[in-house]
């Protein structure tokens, strides 16, 4: 299923940490597309958002790690993918924000430290073939009971690498603004 023109590009929280930075990522992606690249983009939550969400949960119950916790902390990525999709659309690039359940990123049920078990890459390949840039929420999956799960720290990097492997992408590029 190799897809030689598709590049998986992952942008970390600092890269999408403000509206200005999200706009900069959109400009960079536009330039990549004009050079003939076909990107699949994986995005983290805006810098500081996951920590803020974790702190809220811990104020209620510092020991709880279950479905509600993972649903809460996974919401930061939803904001990032939507904002980046809007920034790309503004530039005339068709983009589709996608959550884990929409892509069939299946995990086990180890909340806050789930492991990816299966990915259906067909939808990503179809979107790319239609000229639509998939913007994927990193860090999350869905278990057998349709609960949102999270992959733990570094989970967006894990998502990017797993997606690249699942579709046979040419490369997986991970962009970060921190060492």
The CA-based angle 123-124-127, given to 5 degrees, is: 85
- Whole-prediction pTM: 0.93
Per-residue pLDDT tens over the stretch 56-101: 999 999 999 999 999 999 999 999 999 999 999 999 999 999 999 9
Per-residue pLDDT tens over the stretch 117-139: 999 899 999 999 999 999 999 99
Classify burial at 55, counting beta carbons within 10 Å of its beta carbon; exposed 0-12, middle 13-18, buried 19 or more: exposed
Q: CB of 15 within 8 A of CB of 142?
A: no
């Amino acid at each position: 299923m190799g897809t030689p023109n598709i590049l998986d590009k992952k942008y970390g929280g600092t890269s999408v940490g403000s509206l200005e930075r999200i706009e900069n990522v959109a400009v960079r992606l536009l330039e990549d597309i004009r050079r003939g690249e076909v990107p699949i983009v994986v995005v983290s939550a805006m810098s500081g958002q996951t920590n803020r969400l974790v702190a809220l949960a811990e104020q209620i119950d510092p020991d709880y790690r279950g479905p509600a916790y993972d649903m809460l902390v996974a919401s930061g990525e939803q904001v990032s993918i939507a904002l980046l999709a809007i920034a790309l659309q503004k530039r005339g690039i068709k983009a589709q924000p996608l959550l884990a359940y929409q892509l069939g990123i299946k995990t086990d049920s180890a909340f806050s430290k789930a492991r990816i078990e299966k990915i259906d890459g067909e939808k990503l390949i179809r979107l790319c073939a239609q000229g639509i840039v998939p913007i994927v929420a990193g860090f999350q999956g869905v278990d057998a009971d349709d609960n949102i799960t999270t992959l733990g720290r570094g989970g967006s990097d894990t998502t990017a690498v797993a997606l690249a492997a699942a579709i046979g992408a040419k490369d997986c590029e991970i962009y970060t603004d921190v060492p």
